């Protein structure tokens, strides 16, 4: 087997929702409540041979409509860590929720990677399910399909390897075709779980985020993420402000903006 290529791996924080509470964030709730804000990230793996982005984040216009704090376009966040979005080779789409797919046009050269099951989910009968509404925006679906016709979308069914050291794995749960990204770094295999686990606490309590397609599959996706990672501390949740606390900033001036996921967390 080919040895995996080693990648630098960054999480870039581009937006924040201060309004969320603990009672909003777990499907199995206990009576405690209190503020539990949410961060929004995109992730990027930089290797000698290729640069791969995981998810694209949302736009300023969407942030205004949804009353979220917006710090910068996610593609500008990438520039802060030395990545030119116009030269990105691949974009892994973990799932098609609005906060992950708003910026297709910022990646003009990229090949987009999605699960067969996710494409069927957002274009088929599941769209008529009440719980589906709100999570997916039809304009994003149209943009994806346009890119399918341009042959800029690669479909995966289960597990797929983009390059040695970068793979995707279907987990379902949060959405029908949700996938997680597994990336080889100098500390071993790191899993970018995206919304398979919004917060560390979703995994710790085994209580998924309430926006969920299949609760049982979402709980199993926690196990799958850990299985694919070097250790449980190599799993990175999708929206947890603790990520910014546990991992070191890329540089002093990027504190609160971008952290390195290819070095061990402090907690």
- Contact residues: Zn ion, CB under 5 A: 99, 195
Least distance from C-beta 147 to Zn ion, angstroms?
20
In the complex, least distance from residue 220 CB atom to Zn ion, rounded to whole angstroms: 19
User: Measured from the CB atom, is 99 or 140 closer to Zn ion?
Assistant: 99
Q: Tokens for 26, please give them.
A: 């777990």
Handedness of CA 161, 167, 171, 175 (dihedral sign): negative
Give, as one character, the DSSP assignment of residue 21: B
Q: Which is nearer to Zn ion, 99 or 118 (CB)?
A: 99
Nearer to Zn ion, 96 or 226 (CB): 96
Q: Which is nearer to Zn ion, 26 or 184 (CB)?
A: 26
- Looking at the DSSP bridge assignments, the partners of residue 69 are 16
Q: Which is nearer to Zn ion, 195 or 262 (CB)?
A: 195
Please state the closest distance from residue 100 (CB atom) to Zn ion, in A.
6
| 217 half-sphere exposure, CB direction, 13 A CA radius | 15
Which letter does DSSP use for residue 220 in this model? H
| Cβ atoms within 10 Å, residue 65 | 11
End-to-end, the C-alpha distance of the chain in Å comes to: 34
Encoded tokens for 98: 């609005």
Q: Which is nearer to Zn ion, 100 or 156 (CB)?
A: 100
Residue 135 CB, nearest approach to Zn ion (Å): 9
Residue 65, H or E segment? helix 60-65
Bridge partners of residue 170, in order along the sequence: 179
Q: Shortest gap between Cβ of 174 and Zn ion (angstroms)?
A: 8
Tokens of 86: 């116009």
The answer to whether residues 181 and 193 touch, using CB atoms and an 8 Å cutoff, is no
Tell me how far, at minimum, the Cβ of 60 lies from Zn ion, in Å: 17
- Rounded Cα gap, residues 14 and 237, in angstroms: 15
């Amino acid at each position: 087997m080919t040895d995996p290529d080693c990648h630098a791996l960054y999480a870039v924080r581009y937006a924040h929702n201060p309004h969320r509470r603990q009672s909003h964030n777990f499907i199995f709730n206990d009576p405690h409540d209190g503020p539990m804000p949410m961060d929004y990230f995109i992730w990027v793996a930089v290797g000698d041979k290729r640069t791969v982005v995981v998810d694209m984040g949302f736009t300023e216009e969407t942030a205004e409509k949804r009353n979220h704090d917006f710090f910068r376009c996610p593609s500008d966040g990438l520039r802060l860590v030395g990545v030119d979005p116009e030269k990105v080779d691949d974009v892994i789409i973990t799932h098609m929720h609005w906060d992950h797919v708003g910026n297709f046009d910022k990646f003009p050269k990229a090949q987009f990677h999605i699960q067969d099951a996710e494409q069927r989910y957002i274009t088929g009968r599941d769209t008529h399910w009440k719980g589906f509404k709100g999570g997916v925006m039809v304009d994003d679906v149209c943009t994806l399909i346009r890119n399918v016709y341009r042959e800029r979308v690669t479909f995966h069914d289960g597990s797929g390897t983009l390059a040695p050291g970068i793979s995707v794995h279907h987990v379902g749960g949060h959405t029908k075709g949700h996938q997680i990204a597994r990336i080889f770094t100098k500390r071993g295999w790191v899993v970018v779980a995206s919304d398979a686990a919004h917060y560390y606490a979703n995994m710790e309590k085994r209580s998924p985020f309430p926006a969920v397609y299949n609760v049982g599959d979402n709980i199993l996706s926690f196990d799958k993420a850990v299985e694919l990672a070097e250790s449980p501390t190599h799993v990175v949740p999708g929206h947890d402000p603790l990520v910014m606390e546990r991992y070191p900033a890329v540089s002093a001036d990027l504190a609160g903006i971008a952290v390195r996921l290819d070095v061990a967390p402090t907690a």
